Amino acid sequence: MRGLMQQSPLDVAGLMRRVERLFGHKRVITATATGEVVATWAEVAARARRLAAVLDTLGVPDQGRVGTFGWNSQRHVELYLAVPASGRVLHTLNHRLFAEEITHIIRDAADDVLFVDRSLLPRVWPIVERLATVRRIVVMDDGGRADLPDDPRIADYEDLLSRVREPARPAVVDENDAASLCYTSGTTGRPKGVLYSHRSIVLHALMLLGADTFAISERDVVMPIVPMFHVNAWGLPYAAMLAGSDLVLPGPATAPAELIDQLERHRVTFSGAVATVWRGLQPLLGAADLSSLRMVVSGGGAVPGALSKAWQDGAGLPLTNAWGMTETSPVVTCARLATVHDGLDADARREVLRRPGPPLPLTEIRIAGDEGELQAYGPTVAAAYYGAEGSPASFTADGWLRTGDVGAIDRYGYLEILDRTKDLVKSGGEWISSVQLENEIMAHPAVYEAAVIAVADERWGERPLACVVPVPGAEIDERDLRAHLAGRVASWWIPGRIVVLDEIPKTATGKFSKVSLRGMVGL
């Protein structure tokens, strides 16, 4: 016998209806290069409806990919709503990636049109100029001073919005249809696309509202510092819509002093970012009134104990850790204090909060295999990658995601991350591929072999360390090697430490043994 309940789809259009009907009076505040823009959710939703009509006018087909290069801004939120709600797929792009990677991703996703913040044009234009498959490039004027290129494909966001006469055509969306697309970067091989569905986005937003997750409510003022091009800003804009929170968006104003100013002035209650951001704000904590903050989430990497203590001392609350991946929407676990922690003192409670914590409702985690790999399962976890590049090795026979992290789970389900099997270095929240970096180092004529490992770094979380073996008779000049890399990889990939060795230790199967290598260089 089947249940007899309504099949109301979980979709982005539903989120939009809710925020405009119930929370139209609440606010979205965006910092721009020249000041601040304040709008109500009613205005944002109305503009998103016009934007859907613009996509019709531009001829973006059903399920067509709409790429964005944008800061955290009101217009980006409008795209978050209009693109999926009108049956298209939002593809957020990270402008910090290497040009070749961006080119590959735009081609792989087959982006039909692109929306670009004006301040990002100087970075993005030289790349997209040559991509003839992108039919239109819509510039969002964020006060950036970049000149507009002379190209017939260029249009202005506000100009297009002002010309709308007809409402958007109604879209028929199944909750399992694709809503947005985000590429993971830095893994060995090409970046891989993760294709979120309407259903996974709505469920993930609902999970963030949970009292034992972020407990986001109507009373909150949510400020996502995590970029909107990175896993939908951890789903925070959608959670804010569902709850009816005010949203504060830092735009390009991401310098520590600017972030502190926004947290303080707008009485922000909840914020999320990677540890590198929180470390950057640390010296300014004493001088600011951050008493409105009730939860500060530090995700995407480990939370150092000293940093969390500095936040407790300077801002009155410790950092809360969360674990996730692009493949998992991203939040899967979130630290929290349960009844079993009731007897703990402040230091011990802070220690609990700086670890990833237990899985959110509806998600499951387990440790499997010889290496103790963390695996994840649930309706907000990817089942496959987009396009042909997806590697089946990332999924188990019973359909769980292999995360490439090594962890342990205690009897209450609390996760601890111990190591990583994937060949990556995470610097300032962004990935560096060790393999790609090794290949570029080995392209230098004096280098015989090279292996890159991650070393802990106070400021960036991790930095790459290069171990190089010279060709017999050759000498390795560090400065020369860095100059060689300068033209081949992004500047922030270039290793600060280079160690010259006689040999790179190998495993039984002939691969670089990074464990032995760590021992050799004294890590």
- Indicate which residues carry an active-site annotation: 184, 327, 426, 431
Tell me if 198 contacts ligand ADP by CB under 6 A. no
Please state the φ and ψ torsions of residue 315, each to the nearest 5 degrees.
-120, -5
Instruction: Give 318 or 404: the residue with its C-beta nearer to ligand ADP.
Output: 404
Instruction: Find how far residue 243's CA is from the centre of its chain.
Output: 21
Instruction: Give 119 or 326: the residue with its C-beta nearer to ligand ADP.
Output: 326
Please state the φ and ψ torsions of residue 124, each to the nearest 5 degrees.
-90, -35
Q: Which stretch binds ligand ADP (CB under 6 A): 261-269, 325-333, 342-350, 447-455?
A: 325-333
Amino acid identity of residue 426, one-letter, is K
Tell me if 276 contacts ligand ADP by CB under 6 A. no
Q: Which residue(s) pair with 430 in the sheet?
A: 427
Of 85, 114, 231, 240, which lies in the binding site for ligand ADP, with binding defined by CB under 6 A?
231
Least distance CB 394 / ligand ADP (angstroms): 11
Tell me if 321 contacts ligand ADP by CB under 6 A. yes
The C-alpha atoms of residue 523 and residue 520 are separated, in whole angstroms, by 8
The C-alpha atoms of residue 289 and residue 230 are separated, in whole angstroms, by 29
Tell me if 204 contacts ligand ADP by CB under 6 A. no
Distances (CA, A) of 459 to 8, 279, 493: 47, 7, 15
Contact 84, 90 (CB under 8 A): yes
Of 54, 181, 203, 325, which lies in the binding site for ligand ADP, with binding defined by CB under 6 A?
325
Instruction: Give 312 or 403: the residue with its C-beta nearer to ligand ADP.
Output: 403
Tell me if 358 contacts ligand ADP by CB under 6 A. no
Amino acid identity of residue 174, one-letter, is D
Of 103, 184, 217, 254, which lies in the binding site for ligand ADP, with binding defined by CB under 6 A?
184
Instruction: Give 276 or 326: the residue with its C-beta nearer to ligand ADP.
Output: 326
The C-alpha atoms of residue 49 and residue 252 are separated, in whole angstroms, by 25
Tell me if 293 contacts ligand ADP by CB under 6 A. no
Number of residues that bind ligand ADP (CB under 6 A): 21
Of 324, 359, 378, 495, which lies in the binding site for ligand ADP, with binding defined by CB under 6 A?
324
Tell me if 237 contacts ligand ADP by CB under 6 A. no
**Run of H or E including 137:** strand 136-140
Of 71, 80, 238, 323, which lies in the binding site for ligand ADP, with binding defined by CB under 6 A?
323
Tell me if 280 contacts ligand ADP by CB under 6 A. no
The C-alpha atoms of residue 263 and residue 247 are separated, in whole angstroms, by 11
Instruction: Find how far residue 124's CA is from the centre of its chain.
Output: 19
Query: Tokens 């230790």 map to which residue?
Result: 505
∠ CA 139-144-150, rounded to 5°: 45
Residue whose C-beta lies closest to ligand ADP: 300
Instruction: Give 47 or 420: the residue with its C-beta nearer to ligand ADP.
Output: 420
Least distance CB 204 / ligand ADP (angstroms): 12
Alpha helix positions (H), 244-304: 256-265, 275-281
Site string for ligand ADP, 394-433 (x = CB under 6 A): ---------xxx-----------x--x-----x--x----
CA-nearest of 204, 236, 208 to 222 is 236
Q: Is 40 exposed, middle or buried (0-12, 13-18, 19+ CB in 10 A)?
A: middle
∠ CA 108-141-198, rounded to 5°: 45
Tell me if 357 contacts ligand ADP by CB under 6 A. no
Of 252, 299, 359, 378, which lies in the binding site for ligand ADP, with binding defined by CB under 6 A?
299
List residues binding ligand ADP (CB under 6 A): 184, 231, 299-302, 321-326, 330, 356, 403-405, 417, 420, 426, 429
